[in-house]
A and B are shown apart, each in its own frame.
Chain A
């Protein structure tokens, strides 16, 4: 019994180490800040280890963890206070306290999307934060993590049609929100 448990945790640890970047990336993009990311990952890992006997070796461990993370995340969101501190639409207060429009990044001058993504990391994250959780989950899994619709559907526990519509709505909202930063 003990030996089996030890063995189990060794295997679990090895899989976590192997997929840690993806796990962190998804959790971080869902939560938007380090504290909540750490909580989400730790809760998810504990849950995952609890049900590790149900993991089928040979299948994608990260996808399986995302599925558990989805529940932990959605449950967590429901019980945590979630107050948007700053609205993207509100502009930034100037020195005199008046509202000013945000600086707009001109995509024409730096056409490299990766560069853009790096400079816009913070506004993008805030735009992501403003998406309804279920939409955010789908966008993060599909567009940031590169999962297929089928894999997203499995991890997000919703039909493929829903993945498609949430992804569309999610991208459309992001597009609108980032308009003040990006001149497409």
Chain B
């Protein structure tokens, strides 16, 4: 077995996902290959470190707020139904309503519907700026390479589209 072939299987080996034959081949290879057995140890270590990461703590009241938001949405939907509103479905609309609701005291009957708005993605604006800048003479090539390296993969040369919601 070659090292590359071995390396590709280390994760599966570690997780006990190889069949008996593959496991035997891999074990034999590693017995004679210091590099691959080192690699295995490192993979094992990474897995252990990830497993041992401390549990992040939410801010106090976070779960209460979140559940209240869902409750309000449920109440709101019932009202909507009663009033026979056919309001825009979809997540954005739902969140808009919850956001508005949260700013109203409990039990308020009149809730304005949010206007549909298009959010502008700032990173896309910068990426379009950088693209235009890069095409002109005396461009700061390095700085633009940097701007490009910071952009999300999908944002590169992004079809001239602004990435909007």
Contacts and interface: CB of A to CB of B under 8 A. Distances in A.
Interface in A46-100: 46-47, 49-50, 72, 77-84
B158 to A, nearest CB: 11
Contacts of B163: 78-79
A79 B165 contact: yes
SS of B interface (majority): helix
Contact of B71 (A9, A77, A113, A174): A9
Interface in B39-53: 41-43, 45-53
A139 B46 CA distance: 11
A117 B47 CA distance: 10
A118 B47 contact: no
B45 A113 contact: yes
A171 B11 contact: yes
Interface string B132-165: 0000000000000000001111100000000111
Contacts of A106: none
A25 B54 CA distance: 9
B52 A46 contact: no
A104 B78 CA distance: 57
Interface of A: 1-2, 5, 8-9, 12-13, 16-17, 20-21, 24-25, 28-29, 34, 37-38, 41-43, 45-47, 49-50, 72, 77-84, 107, 113-118, 120-121, 124, 132, 139, 142-144, 146, 149, 164, 167-168, 171-172, 174-175, 178, 182, 184
7 contacts: A38-B66, A42-B69, A43-B95, A46-B94, A114-B52, A144-B50, A168-B8
